[in-house]
């Protein structure tokens, strides 16, 4: 995941704000968001202004990781909690 190469995984959704979640979702050929997003995330020809993050997400403390689909720029970045990852690259994750 840290290398920037695409991966596949299944995870359980969870939203502390809304108190919802529990759905099993699977993604294929997604990548981890690096510290500085590359231009490949943007649409071809998109010259819009980049926005800076308003706060530091502190992924290590919150046990989260942001992932995105490099093949479809219209999909939003998704935050996943490490303990809720069930399968990574075809292998079951044991927490």
What's the rounded mean pLDDT across residues 66-92?
Answer: 91
Confidence of residue 83 (pLDDT cuts 50, 70, 90): very high
- How long is the chain? 95
β strands within the chain, DSSP E: 7-15, 20-32, 64-68, 78-81, 85-88, 91-92
d(Cα 26, Cα 62) in Å, to the nearest integer?
Answer: 21
Confidence of residue 85 (pLDDT cuts 50, 70, 90): very high
20: buried, middle or exposed (CB in 10 Å: 19+, 13-18, 0-12)? exposed
pLDDT tens digit sequence for 4-63: 789 999 999 988 788 888 899 999 999 998 865 544 445 555 555 555 555 667 888 888
């Amino acid at each position: 995941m840290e290398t920037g190469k695409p991966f596949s995984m299944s995870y359980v959704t969870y939203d502390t704000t809304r108190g919802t979640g529990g759905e099993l979702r699977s993604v294929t050929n997604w990548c981890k968001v690096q510290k500085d997003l590359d231009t490949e995330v943007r649409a071809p020809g998109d010259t819009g202004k980049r926005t800076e993050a308003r706060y530091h997400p502190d992924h290590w403390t919150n046990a989260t990781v942001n992932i995105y689909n490099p093949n479809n720029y219209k999909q939003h970045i998704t935050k996943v909690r490490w303990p809720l990852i069930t399968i990574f690259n075809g292998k079951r994750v044991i927490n």
